[in-house]
Chain A
């Protein structure tokens, strides 16, 4: 005698009848989204790096002005600013600069600093100063402009009148070009991100459409049984959103060692060290190379996830985890829109 079958246990998530595990397989979509997320991570790193470089240049080299005064100890041109107190050319120039607004600091290089400056060209250690004394060297004044300040256009002429031959090397000209370049790089990275997002959305839409075609009969059935558009769209969106999230996580994880490796390669450029590679590099928060420099420098230790995370700057640390969230959101929204658009064809 056969026993009567027991009732099925109440499932934790009852079957919705749409069979989406078969409609949208769990391999293709995450793989493609992972590739998109990887590209997006590179573009993000580029954007963050360009931004850091722009910040660094505008606050560093771009804010420096070098004033060279030849024959600094000769008498200044009569009637120059500074009056009788400014007897020498360098005194006259210093007096003019002292009255100029927008200067954060002003520093006259002494003989030792000039010696160090010329050492790469003239060679020698310690003894070079004696040789330098015999050369007609100009006095060099280093100015650091306040943030956002710029050199008055009339200043070079004014200085030249007091001490003819005075040169003013304003870094702002090439700094502006560099800034324009970095902004262009940022814009390119942004465009790349948008393109990657659009392609990811397109891929999700295609996968969703394919899923709809595969389960068209089931969708039409649940629709005729009283399912709302939201019900069907929600289930598709949950599935594709989850798969896109998984793809995003994979892509971000794959990108992590690549970014760390890039940082190791970029380390020498970040510190200004002529040689020594990553061994001499130290992380500089907020700058691209510094960001990417591995903690502990060089070697293979940087491939350890903990060290890689330590090496990443805050903007990238925030952006990388948000990448899977963004891919998941793109997947969810695209599936919602695709399914709802398709359902509108049904009465």
Chain B
């Protein structure tokens, strides 16, 4: 399902050649946010992605959601080598995953219904099916009465659920969530995690980045822990990297 082998990621504006900062100054500085990350996540698994702020959780999720290409290393997703895949195939891979962004990224000018329907419409699914399945999804997630509301009219918890509904409406085999409970109180966070666990039990591979230790203790699952861009713990392998 997911296999990373010695993956690193550098970010910054400058080019990637030796001695660049000597000629181009600070503008050419590139920071390595992931270094030599290797792990495998089988289909249907659940993983916590842990680490302090700035440890590289969001950067790793960005790589996993194909928002950034690894600078070095090998990344295989659904059996496809991501770096070697043609652009069109990356689109197909993206449609097989759902992402809950840390900042939710609901489009403010669209209704809750249209926000959730967006992945289905992008996948060119027939409109009657979109109508039926989005309604069912919103009912399941408890937003059945807020179909036509704009995201700005929803509470933080409702927005969070709408973002999750958009991520799972296509029943993706992979769900990535970046701090999905960040703006929620404890009961709402627990309810949300129950939803994600339910999705995992329905067959989706789920990776959740969080720094909420309470949730991690409450929902026991293997974890991947990052520290300053390095993977220091792979719960499934119980390997510690100093």
Contact = CB atoms under 8 A, between A and B. Distances in A.
A228 B94 CA distance: 10
A10 B114 CA distance: 11
Main secondary structure of the interface of A (DSSP, over half): loop
Contact of B121 (A2, A8, A16, A228): A16
A225 interface: yes
Given A15-B110, A347-B67, A222 B105 contact: no
A337 B189 CA distance: 45
A226 B107 contact: no
Nearest to B66: A347
B119 A10 contact: no
Contacts of A11: 127
A17 B110 CA distance: 7
Contact of A221 (B105, B111, B121): B105
Interface in B72-118: 87-88, 90-92, 94-95, 99, 105, 107, 109-111, 113-115, 117-118
Contact of B135 (A7, A14, A224): A7
A242 B87 CA distance: 29
Interface string B120-136: 01110001101100010
B94 A10 contact: no
B107 A8 contact: no
A227 B91 CA distance: 7
A12 to B, nearest CB: 10
Max count, chain B CB within 10 A of own CB: residue among A7, A218, A226, A347: A226
A45 B109 CA distance: 46
B147 interface: yes
Contact of B114 (A17, A217, A221): A17
Contact of B123 (A19, A217, A226): A226
B118 A10 contact: no
Interface string B26-42: 00000000000000000
B148 A222 contact: no
A231 B118 CA distance: 13
A5 interface: yes
A22 B111 CA distance: 16
A229 interface: yes
Contacts of A231: 122
A228 B88 contact: yes
A321 to B, nearest CB: 35
Interface residues of A, number: 25
A292 to B, nearest CB: 49
A7 B148 CA distance: 9
B73 to A, nearest CB: 15
A8 B111 contact: yes
B144 A4 contact: yes
B217 interface: no
A7 B147 contact: yes
Max count, chain A CB within 10 A of own CB: residue among B92, B99, B109: B109
B119 A225 contact: yes
Contact of A217 (B99, B105, B118, B130): B105
A16 B120 CA distance: 11
A11 B95 CA distance: 23
Contacts of B166: 225
Nearest to A228: B91
Given A218-B107, A347-B67, A5 B148 contact: yes
B148 A14 contact: no
A4 B87 contact: no
Max count, chain A CB within 10 A of own CB: residue among B105, B130, B135, B146: B105
Contacts of B130: 14
B96 to A, nearest CB: 9
A14 B114 contact: yes
A7 B131 CA distance: 8
A197 B182 CA distance: 52
Interface in A237-276: none
B122 A222 contact: yes
B121 A14 contact: yes
A226 B147 contact: no
Contact of A14 (B99, B107, B117, B145): B117
Contacts of A15: 110, 114, 118
Contact of A226 (B69, B95, B109): B95
A14 B114 CA distance: 8
B68 interface: yes
Contacts of A217: 105
A14 B88 CA distance: 24
A10 B148 contact: no
B12 to A, nearest CB: 14
Given A17-B114, A226-B119, A229-B87, 5 more contacts: A4-B145, A8-B131, A10-B127, A16-B121, A218-B107
Interface of B: 65-69, 87-88, 90-92, 94-95, 99, 105, 107, 109-111, 113-115, 117-119, 121-123, 127-128, 130-131, 135, 144-148, 166
Report the 4 A-B pairs with minimum CB-CB distance, sorted nearest first: A226-B95, A226-B94, A15-B114, A10-B127
27 contacts: A2-B145, A5-B146, A7-B131, A8-B111, A8-B113, A10-B127, A10-B128, A14-B114, A14-B121, A14-B130, A15-B110, A17-B110, A19-B109, A221-B107, A222-B118, A224-B66, A224-B94, A224-B99, A225-B99, A225-B122, A226-B94, A226-B122, A226-B123, A228-B88, A347-B68, A347-B69, A347-B90
